[in-house]
Structure 1
Amino acid sequence: MTSPLKICDNYPLIEKNTLGLPSTARCYAEVNTIAELQSALTFAREKRLPVIPLGGGSNVVLGDFLNALVVHVNLKGRTVLSRDQDCVRVRAEAGENWHEFVLWSLSNEAYGLENLSLIPGAVGAAPIQNIGAYGVELKDSFVSLEAMNLESGLVEYFDRQNCGFGYRDSVFKREKRDQYIIVSVTLDLDATLKPNLGYGQLGDLVARRLGGRAPSAVDISQAVCDIRREKLPDPSEVGNAGSFFKNPEVSSSEMDRLKQAYPDIVAYPVGQNWKLAAGWLIDQSGLKGMREGAVGTYQYQALVLVNHGGATGQDVLSFSSMIQQKVNDKFGVLLEREPRVYMESPQAGLRS
């Protein structure tokens, strides 16, 4: 007989989010099976509580008190489903650590995720954000996912088209928001390595290290890890949520205006538009390494907001709003936050 699901009241979340923000959940449950997740959702419906899923806690800003059931998704498992000369199909449960899953895939001679090494968080969050780095996005290898409907408790299937992937975006951040908890992800990876070294810094680093030797997937993964460690602070040492803002996209006419005013602006073409480097915009606004109270921008990467100790979720939001205003004042470009925001006020309730 299985033991009943444990629900904790007034549970502290400071150790459950990489920004290290002090937050308390009215109710909290860790779920290790589909049945436990269904039990948690039944509890939330009975208590009329909203549900907040939490994986690695690496892409959230939490308020002081969440009047909700916070569900830590701890579903585990990694499987090679099939293999032929071209493709290796793999499946991972939502609670698996993303970086460990990448390393596991490489050890199983399944390639394509090496550029996504060391991205913090859990597998279940990867499709929500359509995570990407160094010229690769999750959608490039995505086949499908399974997600539990919060209302019915039933597990539903989503293929790539159903997910509506965009730049750091999916239907789970838009029309399907707050309606599902992802429980597993299936990917098609390459049976032979096809190095993607188009991102300048990555290609240069690999070339310097290896000379004329062709890189292995592990070589590429290690180079990505080293670049990320050089640019991004370790959350165990300095609270942060990684890149805090999306790289904004502007039209060609808007790009012409910016280029005329700022000839050295960092940007690259995306179809008919241009993607701007948000970190460069923040840096050029004089905000790199800036600090207000306990919150600041990271001294080596302006795109990262850090908690120097004692910051609250509201502190982080206020600081990020100041950055948005300064960048907009200087460049006429509005930055969009990447992390999901969970705050509560008597008027608004949970919002983001």
Structure 2
Amino acid sequence: MVVEKNVPLQGLNTFGIAARAHTLVRLRSEQDLLDLLAHPELGRGPFFVLGGGSNIVITGDVRPVVLKMEIGGMAVVRDDERATIVEVGAGVGWHECVAWTLAQGLPGLENMALIPGTVGAAPVQNIGAYGVELQDRFESLDAIHLETGQRLRLDAAQCAFGYRDSVFKHALPQPAPDTGAVRGMGLAGRCVITRVRLRLPKPWRAELGYLDLERRRQLEGVEQPTAQQVFDWVCDIRRAKLPDPQVVGNAGSFFKNPTVTPDQCQDIIAREPRIVHYPMPDGSIKLAAGWLIEACGWKGKTIGKAGVYDKQALVLVNRGTQDDSVTGGEVMTLARAIQTSVYERFGIRLEPEPVVL
């Protein structure tokens, strides 16, 4: 393991927020993590796991020991008539993983192209885009428990995936006051994901349920697109809508798309007929958070050095400079103002996606 002190984090978070880590440890193997946990001082924690820095808002210097995940490697570990299983190190970039699988002739991840961050962070957030979520392509993962050093292998059921949710985002459940029983297994802050195995199903079929992809298919005049074509379309669509964090600091989609009941949706449609909405398999209706934010007049607006992207209202951006960057406080002030506007107009509470540190 590599231990560094007083480390600048501005280049390690995609929002470009200036802050420092008191201690940063670079983890390049499972053994590095076990060595850290055995360290007489650093091993006590507390810890904060940092992957690609694409889903965090840093509001000040970071006192917990920052674990910079850099475990690499990608390999096919099983292949049969039903699926191909690919194992990927937690420090590999997610988009790099998507591109690699396609290059190996293994389709299935193309709808999630260009999602920022690392493979290890993907299960935490249950990332997804254009009709496909990580849980749809998940086999299992390896993790190490920070309190015991125990190696864990979790399947999809144990990860308790939900919309932008998993067991890794919830604290250890408290005993029920009436029975004392504890249900569930909250793992937030209690373990570090080291490897992820992805299940790429056979036969492959294109997922074209989202309107943007269907429009592109019709525009191209392609009846049955290949996985590479879907990959290229997704990349084009995302680049047209979302800012490149190398150019404009941002954390991607800042708010989750809220879900409502059909009755609630009909009530909103009666007032706002143009609202963008999608039916979900469980009968609920997903609303486009970006549309709600834009309807409240926030697109292109700025508070301090935090702004709403002028091409996609779901994205908050850094309007500062390298030497005078936005602060985490400014970002959260803007986020709270947007939440208030949307709630006052639609009665819907928007939930942020990034981790606020």
State yes or no: 1:250 paired with 2:260: yes
Query: 1:7, 1:89 → 2: CA distance?
Result: 34
State yes or no: 1:167 paired with 2:163: yes
Query: 2:108, 2:300 → 1: CA distance?
Result: 34
Corresponding position of 1:296: 307
1:52 to 45, 48, 52: 48
Query: 1:212, 1:250 → 2: CA distance?
Result: 34
User: RMSD value over aligned CA atoms?
Assistant: 1.4
- Please say if residues 146 and 191 of structure 2, whose CA atoms lie closer than 8 Å, have aligned partners that are also in contact: yes
Instruction: Quote the offset at 1:164 in angstroms.
Output: 0.4
2:86 to 83, 90, 93: 90
CA distances 1:252-294 after superposition (whole Å, capped 9, x unpaired): 2222221222122111222232111100000000000111121
- Please say if residues 36 and 43 of structure 2, whose CA atoms lie closer than 8 Å, have aligned partners that are also in contact: no
Corresponding position of 2:180: none
- Please say if residues 289 and 299 of structure 1, whose CA atoms lie closer than 8 Å, have aligned partners that are also in contact: yes
Q: For residue 316 of structure 2, what is the amino acid of its counterpart?
A: L
- Please say if residues 110 and 190 of structure 1, whose CA atoms lie closer than 8 Å, have aligned partners that are also in contact: no
Query: 2:344, 2:66 → 1: CA distance?
Result: 38
Corresponding position of 1:317: 332
- CA spacing shift, 1:312–1:44, aligned 2, 3 Å: farther
1:170-181 map, 5 Å: 170-174=166-170, 175-181=186-192
- CA spacing shift, 1:318–1:220, aligned 2, 3 Å: same
Instruction: Quote the offset at 1:9 in angstroms.
Output: 1.6
Query: 1:206, 1:263 → 2: CA distance?
Result: 27
Corresponding position of 1:347: none
Q: For residue 29 of structure 2, what is the amino acid of its counterpart?
A: T
SS at match of 2:17: coil
Corresponding position of 1:262: 272
Query: 2:278, 2:38 → 1: CA distance?
Result: 48
- Please say if residues 44 and 69 of structure 1, whose CA atoms lie closer than 8 Å, have aligned partners that are also in contact: no
- CA spacing shift, 1:230–1:212, aligned 2, 3 Å: closer
Corresponding position of 1:238: 248
Corresponding position of 2:214: 203
Query: 2:97, 2:250 → 1: CA distance?
Result: 22
Q: For residue 285 of structure 2, what is the amino acid of its counterpart?
A: W
- Please say if residues 217 and 223 of structure 2, whose CA atoms lie closer than 8 Å, have aligned partners that are also in contact: no
Query: 1:228, 1:89 → 2: CA distance?
Result: 27
CA distances 1:74-129 after superposition (whole Å, capped 9, x unpaired): 00010101212331111101001111111111122222101001101100001001
Instruction: Quote the offset at 1:47 in angstroms.
Output: 6.5
Q: For residue 298 of structure 1, what is the amino acid of its counterpart?
A: Y
The answer to which of 322-331 and 82-91 deviates more is 82-91
Corresponding position of 2:341: 326
Kindly indicate which of the two structures has a greater share of residues assigned to strand. Answer: 1
Corresponding position of 1:158: 154
Instruction: Quote the offset at 1:63 in angstroms.
Output: 2.0
State yes or no: 1:72 paired with 2:62: no
2:135 to 115, 133, 139: 139
CA distances 1:277-331 after superposition (whole Å, capped 9, x unpaired): 1000000000001111210000000000000111111111111011101111111
Query: 2:200, 2:128 → 1: CA distance?
Result: 15
State yes or no: 1:274 paired with 2:285: yes
Instruction: Quote the offset at 1:42 in angstroms.
Output: 3.4
Corresponding position of 1:217: 227
The answer to which of 249-258 and 36-45 deviates more is 36-45
State yes or no: 1:100 paired with 2:96: yes
The answer to which of 139-148 and 270-279 deviates more is 270-279
Q: For residue 16 of structure 1, what is the amino acid of its counterpart?
A: L
Corresponding position of 1:36: 32
The answer to which of 32-41 and 311-320 deviates more is 32-41
- Please say if residues 14 and 249 of structure 2, whose CA atoms lie closer than 8 Å, have aligned partners that are also in contact: yes
SS at match of 1:241: strand
Instruction: Quote the offset at 1:23 in angstroms.
Output: 1.1
State yes or no: 1:19 paired with 2:30: no
- Please say if residues 110 and 192 of structure 1, whose CA atoms lie closer than 8 Å, have aligned partners that are also in contact: no
SS at match of 1:255: helix
- Please say if residues 109 and 191 of structure 1, whose CA atoms lie closer than 8 Å, have aligned partners that are also in contact: no
Q: For residue 59 of structure 2, what is the amino acid of its counterpart?
A: G
Q: For residue 320 of structure 1, what is the amino acid of its counterpart?
A: A
- Please say if residues 42 and 65 of structure 2, whose CA atoms lie closer than 8 Å, have aligned partners that are also in contact: no
- Please say if residues 142 and 187 of structure 1, whose CA atoms lie closer than 8 Å, have aligned partners that are also in contact: yes
- CA spacing shift, 1:212–1:202, aligned 2, 3 Å: closer
- Please say if residues 253 and 315 of structure 2, whose CA atoms lie closer than 8 Å, have aligned partners that are also in contact: yes
Query: 1:48, 1:186 → 2: CA distance?
Result: 29
SS at match of 1:102: helix
TM-score, normalisation: structure 2:
0.91
Q: For residue 311 of structure 2, what is the amino acid of its counterpart?
A: Y
- Please say if residues 289 and 350 of structure 2, whose CA atoms lie closer than 8 Å, have aligned partners that are also in contact: yes
Paired residues in the alignment total 337
